[in-house]
Chains A and B, each alone.
Chain A
């Protein structure tokens, strides 16, 4: 079973708007990662945030982590049509060897 739960399941916005996706998880973690997947393709790593970090930026991406609430959010600013994809959070559990993925958020950016 998947540990992460993303919210919303689907999001449709206009180009230039910001997109926010949320992720909740259940166990203690070493880090939390976000991945992107274009339709029919493999996953691509976007950003990793460690359990002792609260916020991280990478280009137009901003990730926050609240370990007390076991939740994370991914913000994509100034979205582009090319950002249309599925976005997954994945947790690296403490003492574990694998990443556990959520069900994902489907983002559609309309031009």
Chain B
């Protein structure tokens, strides 16, 4: 399967701990996105990479959140000093180079529960 993969699928942590999620996009896609989704809501944009450059960050992405995409391949999203309000599904998506159809290809998500 050459779709978007995310790891781990589920993470339970205690408040104050750090967590890191990994996303492997479709190999030929140069654009990568992170979204956050809480229960009953649609995905909310967090950040966007084109190759290794982080081109846009949402105001939702507080200073406890950091995302990287070294070498323009996989990406990581780290949350430091987790809070209960960080509990959500974190979705990664990738998109082909500019000029493509425009659709996003999503992974299955990483569900975070902060106790």
Contacts and interface: CB of A to CB of B under 8 A. Distances in A.
Interface string B33-45: 1010000111111
Interface string B96-115: 00000111111111010000
Contacts of A48: 101-103
Q: Which range contains the number of A residues in contact with the other chain? A: 20 to 34
Contacts, number: 61
Given A31-B102, A98-B48, A42 B109 contact: yes
A98 B56 contact: yes
Chain A at the B interface: SS class: strand
Q: Which of B31, B91, B106 has the most CB of A within 10 A?
A: B106
Q: Which range contains the number of B residues in contact with the other chain? A: 20 to 34
B42 A97 contact: no
Contacts of A98: 33, 45, 48, 56
Nearest to B6: A42
Interface of B: 4, 31, 33, 35, 40-45, 48, 50, 55-56, 91, 93, 101-109, 111
